[in-house]
Amino acid sequence: MHESPLIRITKVIVMKCRKAVVFPLVLLFITLMIGGGSMEVQAQTQPVHNVAVSVASLSGIVEEIGGDLINISILLNQETDPHAFTITPLTLQIANDADLLVLSGHFHWEEELANQTATPYITLDDINAWESYKDYGAELSPMPGGSTIGEDEHGDSGNPHAYWLLPENAIAIGNATRYALTTLNSTLSVYWDSNFNAFIEKMNSLDTLIDSLDEIHGFSQMRAIVVAPAEAYVAEAFGIQCDAVLQVEDITLSGGKLLEVQSALKNGTVTLILGSDVAQYQAGGEFAYQIQEDYGGTLIWWKTVFYEISDYFSIMTYNLGALVSGIEGRSGKLADQTVNFGLIVFSGVLGVIATIEAVLLIQRARAE
């Protein structure tokens, strides 16, 4: 009998786990998810600080560090184009009420917001910020295919679109968040440090998972085109080379480069077309469907900026599951609820595993 990718991926994860206690908890989690059950967890603590972040996927990193002791507000609504967003009175009020702002450093409205409020903030690179991610190792990767469109507009050379989705950059942002929260409340420094160490453990688990699935599917040997630049960082995390980007903000691929992409898809040199939630708001999304129909390739939809389950680990495992499903011929539209439900269950299982290992790590550190 042919096994679904979800079942085989779960088997890989279980084999990779080092703790015997993980397996029954994973089974319990799957049972509850499929059966519609829920577990109520009584809060042990109340949030003591308010943190406002630019976008939902960035908030997942911040939540890993702040844990139950911060209350997170997201400034950018899902229905809004991140580049067309303008500051509203409500946005300014949320910023003023926050104890800390966590900005991407990519959008112009973030700079305006920082200038209109006295709330301290952290961002990619700013001498006026409490912390800059670049000081902790965050780097922008080159634009796919060597494109320079959109680079200098924001003062940085490279791809500034959703750079926090690369694990190394996520760790840098987490580290900057840790030190900013320590500045905000040094009495909780042990708590912030423990959460950061747990986040590192999750990233190690993610690396192990990616390597394990790559051994099965060989996606690191594949080449792709991306619909928007944000998908390139997810592809990089999975070892996939991106040869071109269809659309950068309002600028589409040039005629000569488009002919190269079409030829590469036809001869099989490029096999993947990678889109995302960002592409849904752009003409590039429809462009991707047309290119696949005319020239072939496997079209996969990822989550990059907007995501219902906002923690970083869930975003990346969701995208990894979507990649595997697409490679095995199960890719579909982003609105495919059947595929999405299975991937969300898959993400949740991995989250349980990583959380258990993180808790054990914290307990071990405290005992030492």
Count CB-CB contacts under 10 A for residue 277. 21
> How high is the pLDDT of residue 209?
94
> How high is the pLDDT of residue 227?
93
Q: CB under 8 Å to 54, separation ≥6 — which residues?
A: 74, 75, 76, 102, 103, 104, 107, 110
- Residue positions counted in the chain: 368
pTM for the model stands at 0.79
Question: Residue type for 214, please?
Answer: D
- Phi then psi for residue 323, to 5 deg, are -60, -50
> How high is the pLDDT of residue 73?
94
Helix 312-327 / helix 230-237 crossing angle, nearest 10 deg: 80
**Closest CA relative to residue 154, chosen from 106, 110, 116:** 106
Count CB-CB contacts under 10 A for residue 162. 25
Q: Give all domains of the chain, ordered by start, each with its CATH number.
A: 49-136+148-187 (3.40.50.1980), 203-352 (3.40.50.1980)
d(CA 138, CA 132) in angstroms, rounded, equals: 9
**Closest CA relative to residue 99, chosen from 78, 69, 126, 128:** 69
- What residues of the chain score a pLDDT lower than 50? 14, 17-44, 152-154, 332-345, 347
> How high is the pLDDT of residue 47?
80
**Residue 255 three-state SS:** helix
> How high is the pLDDT of residue 302?
93
Instruction: Please identify which residue in the block is written with the tokens 């490679």.
Output: 327
> How high is the pLDDT of residue 20?
37
d(CA 74, CA 63) in angstroms, rounded, equals: 12
Task: State the number of CA atoms in the 13 A half-sphere of 358 facing the CB.
Answer: 24
